[in-house]
């Protein structure tokens, strides 16, 4: 093949590859094999790991501040984010199970809906009565989680995502998921020594002194 022909063929192949990349919706590209939710281009230059707890107010603030710009980073294909749960209490577990309700592609929007509404339902959790807390701590796990979801109006949050009550109850009754989330927390604690949330790792390195979006954003930009 002549050199000019080779050059033309190479240019055509490159253009085709670029077109595929441009048409890929990285925000809806999700892998769960590692235990968390890896969202974005597997070949992204920057790999971000988030360790979050749904009952952590700072995690909620971070999620609300970073949601839109993070989607832009992921959409470029240059950043991949792995969101990992740090489950610390029954309310945390209930929210995490709701975030995981349905196929993996729904996770990020579920996560965002729960974090956006966190100030309201977390305030309700803090002002819970003794009777409510008793319902949250006694009886079968599924019944406890349904009580939490009802008292904190998390059913309403999930309804905005298109979930019917029967589907939500099915997710809250998934004991295998509950065990998996607890095991993931224990495994990450052992591997990463997570002492506070939110915590972050960039390209496999746990970041010290980083707990807000502006500080993290500067470190992401430095790696782009």
Distant-in-sequence contacts of 125-132, Cβ < 8 A, 24+ apart: 125/55, 125/91, 125/152
Q: How far apart are CA 7 and CA 16, in angstroms?
A: 14
pLDDT of 7: 41
> Residue 106: what pLDDT?
97
> pLDDT tens-digit profile of 126-160?
999 999 999 999 999 999 999 999 999 999 999 99
Tokens 């589907």 sit at which residue? 167
- Contact predicate 66/213, CB 8 Å: yes
pLDDT for the residue 224: 87
| Position 82 pLDDT exceeds 90 | yes
Could you give the CA distance from residue 2 to residue 155 in angstroms, rounded to a whole number? 66
Is residue 115 within 8 A of residue 63, CB to CB? The reply is yes
List pLDDT tens digits, range 93-115: 999 999 999 999 999 999 999 99
Average pLDDT taken over every residue of the chain: 91
CATH number of 3-223: 1.10.40.110
Q: Are strands 205-206 and 199-202 parallel, antiparallel or unpaired?
A: antiparallel
The reported pLDDT for the residue numbered 6 is 36
**SS3 track for 35-60:** CCEEECCCCCCEEEEEEECCCCHHHH
The 8-class DSSP code of residue 205 comes to E
Mean pLDDT within 117-133: 97
Distance CA 82, CA 222 (A): 19
Q: What is the pLDDT of residue 24?
A: 87
Residue 139 per-residue DSSP state: S
Read off the DSSP letter of residue 146.
Answer: H
Reference 191, options 211, 178, 202, 205; nearest CA is 205
């Amino acid at each position: 093949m002549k050199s000019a022909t080779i050059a033309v063929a190479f240019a055509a192949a490159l253009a085709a590859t670029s077109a595929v990349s441009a048409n890929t919706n990285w925000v809806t590209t999700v892998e769960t094999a590692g235990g968390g939710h890896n969202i974005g281009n597997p070949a992204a230059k920057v790999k971000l790991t988030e360790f979050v707890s749904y009952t952590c107010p700072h995690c909620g603030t971070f999620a609300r501040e970073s949601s839109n710009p993070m989607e832009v980073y992921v959409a470029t294909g240059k950043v991949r984010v792995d969101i990992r749960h740090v489950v610390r209490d029954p309310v945390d577990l209930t929210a995490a199970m709701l975030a995981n309700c349905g196929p993996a592609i729904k996770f990020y929007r579920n996560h965002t809906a729960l974090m956006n509404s966190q100030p309201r339902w977390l305030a309700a959790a803090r002002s819970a009565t003794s009777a409510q807390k008793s319902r949250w701590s006694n009886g079968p796990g599924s019944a406890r989680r349904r009580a939490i979801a009802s008292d904190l109006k998390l059913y309403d949050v999930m309804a905005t995502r298109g979930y019917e009550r029967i589907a939500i109850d099915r997710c809250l009754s998934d004991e295998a998921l509950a065990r998996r989330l607890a095991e993931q927390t224990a495994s990450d604690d052992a591997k990463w020594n997570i002492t506070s949330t939110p915590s972050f790792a960039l390209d496999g390195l746990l970041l010290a002194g980083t707990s807000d979006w502006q500080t993290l954003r500067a470190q992401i930009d430095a790696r782009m």
